[in-house]
Structure 1
Amino acid sequence: MANIEDTVMAYWDACESRDWARMGMLLADDMVYHLPQTRERIRGRAAFLQFNREYPGGWHLSVTRVTGAGRQAASWITVTVDGDQQPAVSFFDLDEAGRISVITEFWPEPYEPPAGREHLVERYAIGEVQPA
């Protein structure tokens, strides 16, 4: 199994380069992605990859920090869209095979999700526990 920090860095590198095939190799089939601010959850590698393929805008990201131990890590990134920068903090869990099984991503403040991805996500209530 690769070092958790190396796995997370490889994930962000694949994301920035839009290398969805490479990203997919890092993800468990049944991975879950949580977005607490928009109360969305995406289940499964295929849906998560489609979500990323369809994400609008000419964004870029840079990694500020990744830290982890065992099968858990956290990262701090900055996403730039049209000159505006937004930080995000993401928490990662790996499965026993060393693939990313859960990502929970926090953005600066709650917001309503952009239209067009309803077919990929579940909305949930504020304060609802987010089981994998």
Structure 2
Amino acid sequence: MTQAAALNLVRDFWRRMASNDFNSVRTLLAAGFVLEWPQSNERIRGGERFARMNQEYPAHGPWRFTLNRLIGSEHEVVSDVSITDGVQHARAISFFTVEDGLIVRLVEYWPEPYPAPANRVHLTEPLDGDAQGR
């Protein structure tokens, strides 16, 4: 698989996730697919459980995904994605392992946002460019 094909596979993964038809994502996953969430110490094995987990996750509306960044090689792809259901907002950094045109492993980090510490306010500015009275 080429680098371009691996990147397109992951783009297709996020496009299918955005359709909220999580079963359609299963066709992109290898038979031995594994998802790992190191922060919560969880592992999900198989496309069926992956789709079911996404279907059962509590949501206030359809999930929307914004692909912020995508980089990778022919076997490893990393994405930075913003996710919302209109009420909940999250950002995920996802590491995909690709073999034979399918995703075999996905390791995701879901960082929690937090306010900037006051002790460095004189050195920083908000990412959105709003100085917020500083």
Using structure 2 for the length normalisation, give the TM-score. 0.74
What's the counterpart of residue 64 of structure 1?
68
Q: Which amino acid aligns with 1:39?
A: N
Q: Contact (CA 8 Å) 1:60, 1:81: kept in 2 or not?
A: yes
Distance in 1 of aligned mates of 2:18 and 2:41? 24
Relative to structure 1, the CA distance from residue 18 to residue 81 in structure 2 (aligned partners, 3 Å threshold; closer, same or farther) is: closer
Q: Contact (CA 8 Å) 1:5, 1:66: kept in 2 or not?
A: yes
What's the counterpart of residue 15 of structure 2?
13
Which secondary structure state, in structure 2, belongs to the residue aligned with residue 70 of structure 1? coil
The question of 1:34 aligning with 2:39 is answered no
Distance in 2 of aligned mates of 1:21 and 1:85? 23
What's the counterpart of residue 54 of structure 2?
52
- Offset at 1:94? 1.0
User: Which one has the largest radius of gyration?
Assistant: 2
For residues 107-132 of structure 1, the C-alpha deviation after alignment (integer angstroms, 9 at most, x for no partner) is 114xxxxxxxxxxxxxxxxxxxxxxx
Distance in 1 of aligned mates of 2:42 and 2:11? 24
What's the counterpart of residue 129 of structure 2?
none
What's the counterpart of residue 113 of structure 1?
none
Which protein has the bigger helix share? Answer: 2
Relative to structure 1, the CA distance from residue 20 to residue 87 in structure 2 (aligned partners, 3 Å threshold; closer, same or farther) is: closer
Larger relative contact order (CA 8 Å, sep ≥ 6): 1
2:90 to 71, 79, 86: 86
For residues 69-104 of structure 1, the C-alpha deviation after alignment (integer angstroms, 9 at most, x for no partner) is 111100000012334532110000012x21000000
Tell me, which stretches of 5 or more residues in structure 1 are unaligned? 110-132
Question: How many equivalent residue pairs?
Answer: 108
Q: Pairwise CA RMSD of aligned residues?
A: 1.6
Which secondary structure state, in structure 1, belongs to the residue aligned with residue 51 of structure 2? helix
The question of 1:98 aligning with 2:101 is answered yes
Tell me, which stretches of 5 or more residues in structure 2 are unaligned? 113-134
Using structure 1 for the length normalisation, give the TM-score. 0.75
